[in-house]
Amino acid sequence: MTNKNEAITPKIEESWKLALEDEFNKEYFRNLVEFLREERKKHVIYPAGKNIFAAFNNTPLPAVRVVLLGQDPYHGPGQAHGLCFSVPDGVPFPPSLKNIFKELHNDLGIPVPFSGNLTKWARQGVFLLNATLTVRQHQAGSHQGKGWEIFTDEVIKTISDLRSGVVFLLWGSYAQKKEPLIDTSKHYVLKAPHPSPLSANRGFFGCKHFSKTNEILTKNGLPPIDWNLNN
């Protein structure tokens, strides 16, 4: 069992650790840590422990310029590595990622990349956050309602409070429910249907969020995102 007085300090980038340190010692987070310890005894959990906070470790809080919200990590072997919608080098593109790259090509003429690894975006300030940071193998949604959403809602509020001029990309109804956490008087919110094959044809294709994001950043005197993963 987790010692009630034991400090919980996840391996997370320093700016995030400082901003979120109160969360790590709240009861819900302690319960979440205990849940994950027990889950790992019985099930295969994705992503690997070292990658749970990959989005944070690749995009420090002061560097965040764009937030892309996902829901769950991928639940197939070798797919999840801590960045929403992203897969490691050499892993076939899941259907939603295929559609993201299709829209990217249609919007900016960027060729479909060789790899579905979005780390290059993350290192430019695109914070690739899933609402739930872990999942059981082959069981989508299996770690929802265990505390992750409380934590990631606080992450969104922290970005909203401490940063300004951030572009939030809310794709699909689940992500769009997070809009009340964002101060829209000082941030930008772009909404579209989810890139899943079930909904991409209802307005994700043609949303032009990649070019619109860069227009907003440029207007605010910030460098645009280089969305081309092949460079």
The DSSP code for 224 is: P
What positions carry a catalytic annotation?
72
CA distances, 230 to each of 49, 112, 113, 124 (Å): 28, 8, 6, 15
How many Cα atoms sit within 13 Å of 7 on the Cβ side?
5
The residue-averaged pLDDT of 120-125 equals 98
What would the pLDDT profile of 197-214 be if each residue is shown by its tens digit?
999 999 999 999 999 999
Would you say residue 1 has pLDDT above 90? no
DSSP characters over 11-64: S--HHHHHHHHHHHTSHHHHHHHHHHHHHHHHS-EES-GGGTTHHHHHS-GGG-
The reported pLDDT for the residue numbered 6 is 59
pLDDT (mean) for 184-206: 97
Query: Which residues make Cβ contacts (< 8 Å) with residue 54, sequence separation at least 6?
Result: 47, 81, 82, 83, 122
Please give the pLDDT value at position 75. 97
Calculated CA dihedral for residues 190, 231, 82, 166, nearest 10 degrees? -30
Check residue 7 and give its pLDDT: 60
Question: Is 188 strand, coil or helix?
Answer: strand
The whole model's pTM is what? 0.96
What is the chain's mean pLDDT, rounded? 95
DSSP 78-142: TT-SSSTT---TTSPPPHHHHHHHHHHHHHH-PPPPS----HHHHTTTEEEEESS--EETTBTTT
- CA atoms within 13 A of residue 223's CA, in its CB half-sphere: 9
Average pLDDT over residues 169-197: 98
Average pLDDT, stretch 170-193? 98
pLDDT digits (tens, 9 = 90+) for 126-160: 999 999 999 999 999 999 999 999 999 999 999 99
Reported confidence tier of residue 8, pLDDT bands at 50, 70, 90: confident
Tens-place pLDDT, residues 24-69: 999 999 999 999 999 999 999 999 999 999 999 999 999 999 999 9
